[in-house]
Amino acid sequence: MRRRGLYRAVAFLAAAGLVAGACGGSDDSAPADTTEESSEEAEAPAEEPADEPADEPAEEPAVEAGDEAEGDVDTEIVEEETAIEYGGSVSVGLEAEATGLRPWEDTCSSPCYNMMVAVYDKLVEQTSSGAYSPNVAESISANEDFTVWTMTLRPGITFHNGVELTAQTIADMFPIQQAGAAGSGAVSAANLVSVEATGDLEVTYTLSQGGSAFPASLARAPLGMVFDPAAAAADSEGYSMAPIGTGPFVIDSRDLDNETTFVRNDNYWATDPDGNALPYLDSISFRPIPDEGTRLDALLSGTINAMQTLRQGTIRDARAARDDDGADITLWEFQGNNLGGGMFNVLVPPFDDVRVRRALVKMGSQEQTIEALGGTGISLPATQWFSPDSPWWSEKVAEAWPQFDFEGGVEILTEYINDPERSDGKAVGESIDVELSCPPDPTLIAAMQVSEQLYTASGLVNVTLTNFDQQTHIGIALGGENGFVGDHKMHCWRWGSDDDPAVSLNPALAPPTAEIAEAAGIPGVVSPLNFPNWFSPTAFQAAVAANQTDDFETRFGLYESIMLEFADQVPVYYSGHTATAIGTDTNVLGLNSWHLPSGELGIGFPAAEGRWAEVFIAS
Amino acid sequence: MAITNSSTTPEFPRDRLSNVSSAVAGPTDIAPKRTTFRKILRSMPLRVKLSSLWLVLIVFGAIYAKLDVAWFGGSLPLQDPNIQTNGFIRETGQFGTGQPIEGMSTSHWLGTDAIARDTFARIVHGGWVSLVVVVVSACCGIMIGGFLGSLVGFVRGRVETFVMATVDVILAFPALVLLLAMVSIFEVRNLFVISAVIGVLSIPAYTRVARANSLAISSREFVTAARAIGTKPSRILFREIIPNVLPTLLAYTMVAAAFVVVVEGSLSFLGLSVQLPTPTWGNMINQARRDIKINVAQVMWPSLALTLTVLSLNQVGDFFQQRREIRGSNL
Amino acid sequence: MGKVIATRFARLVATLLAVTFLTFSMTALLPGDPVNAILGVDAVRDPEVVAKIRADLGLDDPFLVRYVNWLGDAATGDLGRSYITEQEVITTISQRLPVTAQLAFMAIIMALILAIPIGVLGAYKQGKWQDSTTSAGVQVALSIPNFIIGIFLIWLFSVRLGWLPASNWNRISTDGLVENLKTAILPASALAMTQMAIFSRLVRSDMIATLQENYILAARSKGLSDRFILLRHALRPSSLSLMTIIGINFGALLGGTVIIETLFAIPGVGFRLINAINQRDIIVIQGITVFIATAYVVINTIVDLLYAVVDPRIRKR
């Protein structure tokens, strides 16, 4: 944990308010996630921004039932009108089992965040506008240069085991986070050097470099979720099976791969804006059902009354069941800044040559890929890490991103192939070898085959398709034996999140290896999260600069410049924005209307991660 | 010397395996009579005839499809199994007009899959992978397993103990679990790797069958007689034992083939068989399963192809085994 | 008899050693660095940390040393602890085994309930239409791979009719027997089909042989009713071979439930194995594979012994 990326956070304050309406964000999923985790997606490169996002109706709220308008139909975040009711339980189908429930240790993605937010509270949460607002914290503020952040906690919060939450608790969490697998990366990314209790309820965070978006880090699991450090230190393994937090639900039983049940925390500190005690539900349980079709069937047949999905094809099927077969389900859809696509490992020939990357992107069709993913009418082609309704979205970038132009791609590729100096060492005129790899979800497999056909049609590319399950897929990109540079070639991945770009984008821009860092004159700055292994001093400097200011216009310009460089150098490719959804029985309400202590509406259910405290079952 | 019961056999079709062994117990001490093709055909019940017809169709289709691609550049009348009919057409610069998940029509006899490929063509091509896997596993089984089994059944002693212990160990794994573990070792899974792995795993079962037969035959009078007059052991092995073991092994092959087809289908279904976009029935089922709510037919066609093939192999296999059984018991 | 047992036992031990060694070497060859699985994606990859993890896991020890250490632990019931879930492998297995065992038992019982009448009928009416119809049905049942049966059962009973859940597992202890059966019936049926076919073929052929025995002919000539003869005299000899084949198939079923458990998302041993393979959780892969193989070997040995007890001819061997 000594290397730090210089990522810096950004002015979340500024961002607040700017983030447009309904684009919620995923909060906790972030950083890593940005890159990571949850995963990968498939697909193909390419794209055509042509019809751009512009016309997307994203902005209209599309009520969940009903409207099957084309495109992005995010469920609106609004106050729920139906009178709340206490009691009942919800059973949620997840796409995978959580590897563990320790925020500082376990690498999590969307399914496990669903469980974690039931049992843990976060210091800071995102509001429906995307702003960061105190949650367990009562207030948080920075000094001039954003190197020292002072946070005050709410009084009277206790853990499920009766231990009281104080500033010292937060300070004691720090060493555990530093040592944790998930925590160490987050600590380093945030440049966090110390956490001290400077009062009963006052905590002081000291950063080695100013981070204007530091609170964004406190809205994510590794640093933001509050756990009992004494119990964690005593029995880390036990904690994974029986987590202790301050959250709305208390662990009741954990039956791995089958069902994890939480019951109501009768002493929960938070109330709804009317002062009613939370949570409303008596209990909530989570069941991992990895197969997408089976999970939807389970919802339709009443085995479960809620489910999540990150796959467009499932959303399509769920919509069909709702609209055509009259199934009584509600789809809580969210698109946000998530996008599918992948990356080129630019340290591996021929992908080290920008001509090859450009050619492959031009030869891929985002629209056909989206159709293969089952996302036609659900997802839009992408040109950048932000969706058209995000304040960070740039028209310039949309125009700059290479559009589908098959012959154009062929031309560029021909130039490479006929270059006597070509980087892959093959003879002039020989086809290039492309290994395209995605996890084995059927829709991703379909999408891969779309790209394969297009590339093969050029007669210049030998395509190999491989599938590895998600864990292996990630492992391949991480590498290991080779200094964590990765063995991937053209690799499906999922990009973006609704976190501040400082959290979602910066870690992907730092030098991927010590040698590159050395060469760039910033020794020791190495990011394991730079998966494409693409390093540009200008993009990196822009990211660092964006972290030192909270002025939105300045930051927008910097991130726009990074995205323009992406459009030119194409280290990553896109297969379109990806919709996510939580499906529930129609009497399960409240997912879009939970509140922060300030009374503001929360961000909803970004990346199919629900907040369950204010969910209720209407009769 | 009763043949050890087949209890430690693998998931290889056990009930049938025991038939084999018992069929063999009354072995063939007469030189196999030449049976004409016509005679066999005449003795076939209708269902076996139909089964054979189906198998011939599948094999013919698979070879035809392969030839089409390999020699005729796709010019024979069969659609390209990998062409996405909604895909980009380079000549025109336009996208095709096909639709994903179409129903049956004259242009697509069995409709199209999720990326608008012709399902009929994919099923025909899908037979190729099954065919290759079956042939390779039968060759490995008969040549290596058959030889080993015949040898140790004849020679006995330490060699037998060692070989059969090894066979026992391999058969001590549930076949699918072993296969999963072995297949996941290979980073690139092409047809060669898959059929090699399945082929290697087929050896023990064949060894066991061959040994059982060899044991029985070795104790027959003609072998004892040959020994008595000082015939070289290798000559006995190759002239007397193996020729008499072979017919039983061949009959077993059909039954084993049914098992192999299912195993390959299961691997494909789990996404662990040959690389995409190569069509196999198992991966077609897996991919279409996604859309079962919209179009169950796309799951049904490859399922039917797979099931009918297994059924036919079982029918034909049973038929030949019974023939051997009858001939054996007639002695 | 003592000698038979001793020999069998020696063979059992030798087989188990070989099986564990094979499993260990195979899983050691699996691609993917377990360090990644442990660290997860977010972690900073400090070489010292990586080195420490490797040392803790003994990944740098010579292969044989690792094997012997592992075997020593395994012999005392310590199959290690999962990299990922931090759960003891033996705990995992003990939690999941009842689920898999229940599925296998249910499959066998369902198969027997169907198979015995079908087999008896086929034998009794040998060559008649009842025989040919059931034989044809059995042939078909034997030929449909269980994952295809599973898919269509889900499609019919869950998606179309909505009668039964498409996935998951309700435990008897928490949800009661009825709820439990609701979740168990479809996967058990998918597993039962092949077993049913195997059993009924066996019953039929055994019974045809038995019906030609002298004592049956004698019983018939005494004027005993066919039903009485069938159930009382003819079925009994078949039970021995049935027992044998059930023993064999039970071991195979423990492993063979992998696909069905995965398809139905049932928390059994097989599903855990697939998850472990997916997560590169080598400790769990090893533990479960060895467990399944051991169970399989032990059950087979017991069956062999029982067989020897019952059938004296075999003892000599």
Query: Is C167's CB within 8 Å of A303's CB?
Result: yes
Query: Is C300's CB within 8 Å of B289's CB?
Result: no
Closest residue in A to C276 (Cα) is A471
pLDDT (tens digit per residue) in A500-549? 888 888 888 888 888 888 888 887 777 777 889 999 999 999 998 888 88
For residues C123 and C250, state if they share a domain. yes
For residues C31 and C119, state if they share a domain. no
Residue C280: what pLDDT?
A: 67
pLDDT at B41 over 60: yes
Residue contacts between A and B (CB atoms, under 8 Å): 80
pLDDT at C142 over 70: yes
Residue B17: what pLDDT?
A: 40
Domain for residue B171, yes or no?
Answer: yes
B326 band by pLDDT with thresholds 50, 70 and 90: low
Closest residue in C to B313 (Cα) is C143
Residue C38: what pLDDT?
A: 62
Choosing among C147, C160, C292, which should be mutated to test the B contact, i.e. which has the most B CBs within 10 A? C147
pLDDT (tens digit per residue) in A272-296? 999 999 999 999 999 988 878 888 8
Is residue A372 within 8 Å of A582, Cβ to Cβ? no
Residue C25: what pLDDT?
A: 80
Helix, strand or coil, per DSSP, at residue B281:
helix
**For A94-108, B315-329, C31-45, which range has the lowest pLDDT when averaged over its residues?**
C31-45
pLDDT at B55 over 80: yes
User: Rounded distance, CA A372 to CA A195, Å?
Assistant: 48
User: Rounded distance, CA C137 to CA C115, Å?
Assistant: 11
pTM over 0.90: no
Q: Please report how many Cα atoms fall inside a 13 Å half-sphere around the Cα of residue B111, on the Cβ side.
A: 18
Q: Which of residues 144-173 of C touch B (CB under 8 A)?
A: 144-145, 147-148, 151-152, 155, 159
Measured between CB atoms, does B15 come within 8 Å of chain C?
A: yes
- Which chain A residues are closer than 8 Å to C288 by Cβ? none
> Which whole number is the average pLDDT over B235-243?
85
Choosing among A29, A39, A99, which should be mutated to test the C contact, i.e. which has the most C CBs within 10 A? A99
Measured between CB atoms, does C245 come within 8 Å of chain A?
A: no
Quote the ipTM score. 0.80
Query: Is B277's CB within 8 Å of A465's CB?
Result: yes
Q: Which residue has the higher pLDDT, B278 or C32?
A: B278
Q: Which residue has the higher pLDDT, B73 or A557?
A: A557
**For A23-32, A372-381, A407-416, which range has the lowest pLDDT when averaged over its residues?**
A23-32
Whether omega before B277 lies within 30 degrees of 0, making that bond cis, reads: yes
CA distance C122 to chain B (A): 17
C41 band by pLDDT with thresholds 50, 70 and 90: low
Domain for residue B16, yes or no?
Answer: no
CA distance C87 to chain B (A): 22
Q: Which of residues 470-509 of A touch C (CB under 8 A)?
A: 470-472, 474-476, 478-481, 484
Choosing among B6, B9, B12, B15, which should be mutated to test the C contact, i.e. which has the most C CBs within 10 A? B15
Burial class (CB in 10 A: 0-12, 13-18, 19+), B188: exposed
For residues C138 and C22, state if they share a domain. no
C39 band by pLDDT with thresholds 50, 70 and 90: low
- Which chain B residues are closer than 8 Å to C127 by Cβ? none
Measured between CB atoms, does B304 come within 8 Å of chain C?
A: no
Residue A396: what pLDDT?
A: 93
CA distance A464 to chain B (A): 8
pLDDT (tens digit per residue) in A119-144? 999 999 999 888 899 999 999 999 98
Best CA proximity match to A190, nearest among A350, A19, A4, A450: A4
Q: Which residue has the higher pLDDT, B114 or A618?
A: A618
CA distance A580 to chain C (A): 22
User: Rounded distance, CA A473 to CA A489, Å?
Assistant: 11
> Which whole number is the average pLDDT over B233-258?
86
Q: Which of residues 48-87 of C touch B (CB under 8 A)?
A: none
Average pLDDT, chain A: 83
Best CA proximity match to B249, nearest among B215, B208, B195: B208
B188 band by pLDDT with thresholds 50, 70 and 90: low
CATH topology of domain A38-64+338-577: Dipeptide-binding Protein; domain 3 (3.10.105)
Domain for residue C83, yes or no?
Answer: no
A14 band by pLDDT with thresholds 50, 70 and 90: very low
Q: Please report how many Cα atoms fall inside a 13 Å half-sphere around the Cα of residue C250, on the Cβ side.
A: 23
Residue A475: what pLDDT?
A: 74
> Which whole number is the average pLDDT over A430-451?
88
Is residue A593 within 8 Å of A77, Cβ to Cβ? yes
Residue B33: what pLDDT?
A: 54
| Amino acid present at B273 | S
- Which chain A residues are closer than 8 Å to B87 by Cβ? 368, 450, 453-454, 457
Tokens standing for B292?
Answer: 């079962």
> Which whole number is the average pLDDT over C210-214?
74
Phi, psi at residue C33, to the nearest 5°?
A: -90, 120
- Which chain B residues are closer than 8 Å to C18 by Cβ? 165-166, 169, 172
For residues C62 and C189, state if they share a domain. no
Domain for residue C37, yes or no?
Answer: yes
Measured between CB atoms, does C280 come within 8 Å of chain A?
A: yes
CATH number, domain with residue C121 = 1.10.3720.10
Measured between CB atoms, does C17 come within 8 Å of chain B?
A: no
pLDDT at C97 over 60: yes
DSSP C200-233: HHHHHHHHHHHHTSHHHHHHHHTT--HHHIIIII
pLDDT at C175 over 80: no
Percentage of chain A exceeding pLDDT 70: 87
Domain for residue B52, yes or no?
Answer: yes
A206 band by pLDDT with thresholds 50, 70 and 90: very high
For residues C15 and C103, state if they share a domain. no
pLDDT at C42 over 70: no
Residue C172: what pLDDT?
A: 82
pLDDT at A16 over 70: no
Q: In what order do the strands lie in the sheet with A580-585?
A: A249-255, A259-264, A283-288, A89-94, A306-309, A580-585, A329-334
- Which chain C residues are closer than 8 Å to A304 by Cβ? 168
Domain for residue B39, yes or no?
Answer: no
Residue A597: what pLDDT?
A: 92
pLDDT at C248 over 80: no
Q: In what order do the strands lie in the sheet with A490-495?
A: A461-467, A432-438, A490-495, A339-344, A572-577
Is residue A143 within 8 Å of A197, Cβ to Cβ? no
pLDDT at C94 over 70: yes
Helix (H) / strand (E) element for A184: namely: helix A181-189
Query: Is C171's CB within 8 Å of A288's CB?
Result: no
- Which chain C residues are closer than 8 Å to A476 by Cβ? 32
pLDDT at A368 over 50: yes
User: Rounded distance, CA A76 to CA A95, Å?
Assistant: 24
Residue B56: what pLDDT?
A: 93
Most confident range (mean pLDDT) of A97-111, A228-242, A483-497 is A228-242
Percentage of chain B exceeding pLDDT 70: 85
Q: B88 has which bridge partners?
A: B95
Tokens standing for A455?
Answer: 């590339």
Closest residue in A to C151 (Cα) is A294
- For residue B284, give its domain range: 45-97+107-330
Domain final position from C23, C44, C75 = C75
CATH number, domain with residue B73 = 1.10.3720.10
Residue C36: what pLDDT?
A: 64
Residue A57: what pLDDT?
A: 37
A26 band by pLDDT with thresholds 50, 70 and 90: very low
Choosing among C41, C53, C275, which should be mutated to test the A contact, i.e. which has the most A CBs within 10 A? C41
- Which chain B residues are closer than 8 Å to C198 by Cβ? 14-15
**For A488-497, B84-93, B194-203, which range has the lowest pLDDT when averaged over its residues?**
B84-93
For residues C186 and C304, state if they share a domain. yes
User: Rounded distance, CA A41 to CA A297, Å?
Assistant: 23
Measured between CB atoms, does B188 come within 8 Å of chain C?
A: no
pLDDT at B20 over 60: no
DSSP A209-239: S--TTHHHHTTSHHHHB---HHHHHH-HHHH
Q: Which residue has the higher pLDDT, A155 or C250?
A: A155
For residues C11 and C150, state if they share a domain. no
- For residue C25, give its domain range: 2-75
How many structural domains does chain C have? 2
Query: Is A466's CB within 8 Å of B84's CB?
Result: no
| Radius of gyration over every alpha carbon of chain B, rounded to an integer in angstroms | 23
Query: Is B314's CB within 8 Å of C142's CB?
Result: yes
Measured between CB atoms, does B292 come within 8 Å of chain C?
A: yes
Query: Is A471's CB within 8 Å of C92's CB?
Result: no
Is residue A25 within 8 Å of A124, Cβ to Cβ? no
CA distance C210 to chain B (A): 16
Query: B98 CB contacts (<8 Å, ≥6 apart)?
Result: B84, B85, B86, B87, B112, B116
pLDDT at C243 over 80: no
Domain for residue C281, yes or no?
Answer: yes
> Which whole number is the average pLDDT over C74-101?
83
Choosing among B54, B169, B315, B322, which should be mutated to test the C contact, i.e. which has the most C CBs within 10 A? B169
- Which 8-state DSSP code applies to residue A91? E
CA distance C302 to chain A (A): 32
pLDDT (tens digit per residue) in A45-71? 333 333 333 333 333 333 333 333 344
Domain final position from C47, C75, C103 = C75
Residue B123: what pLDDT?
A: 92
Average pLDDT, chain B: 80
Q: A225 has which bridge partners?
A: A122
Residue B325: what pLDDT?
A: 63
For residues C143 and C230, state if they share a domain. yes
pLDDT at B6 over 50: no
Residue among C14, C19, C152 minimizing CB distance to B173: C19
Domain for residue C109, yes or no?
Answer: yes
Q: Return the partners of chain C (3 or more C-beta pairs < 8 Å).
A: A, B
- Which chain B residues are closer than 8 Å to A465 by Cβ? 275-277
Residue among C37, C46, C275 minimizing CB distance to A1: C46
Domain for residue B305, yes or no?
Answer: yes
Domain for residue B254, yes or no?
Answer: yes
For residues C156 and C17, state if they share a domain. no
Can you say how many angstroms the Cα of residue A153 is from the centroid of all Cα atoms in its chain?
A: 27
Tokens standing for A405?
Answer: 């132009």
User: Rounded distance, CA A217 to CA C44, Å?
Assistant: 16
Helix, strand or coil, per DSSP, at residue C1:
coil
C31 band by pLDDT with thresholds 50, 70 and 90: low
B53 band by pLDDT with thresholds 50, 70 and 90: very high
CA distance A374 to chain B (A): 8
Q: A331 has which bridge partners?
A: A583
Residue A504: what pLDDT?
A: 84
**For A135-144, B132-141, C234-243, which range has the lowest pLDDT when averaged over its residues?**
C234-243
Query: Is B185's CB within 8 Å of C139's CB?
Result: no
Query: Is B8's CB within 8 Å of C285's CB?
Result: no
Percentage of chain C exceeding pLDDT 90: 6
Average pLDDT, chain C: 79
CA distance B308 to chain A (A): 25
Domain boundaries, chain A: 38-64+338-577
Closest residue in A to B116 (Cα) is A372
- The distance in angstroms from the start CA to the end CA of chain C is 11
Residue A202: what pLDDT?
A: 95
- Which chain A residues are closer than 8 Å to B82 by Cβ? 449, 453
A565 band by pLDDT with thresholds 50, 70 and 90: very high
**What is the crossing angle of helices B46-70 and B297-330, to 10°?**
120
How many structural domains does chain B have? 1
Residue A587: what pLDDT?
A: 92
User: Rounded distance, CA A210 to CA A7, Å?
Assistant: 10
Percentage of chain C exceeding pLDDT 70: 82
Tokens standing for B85?
Answer: 């009919």
Is residue A111 within 8 Å of A189, Cβ to Cβ? no
Residue C43: what pLDDT?
A: 54
Query: Is C255's CB within 8 Å of B173's CB?
Result: yes
Is residue A129 within 8 Å of A19, Cβ to Cβ? yes
Residue C281: what pLDDT?
A: 74
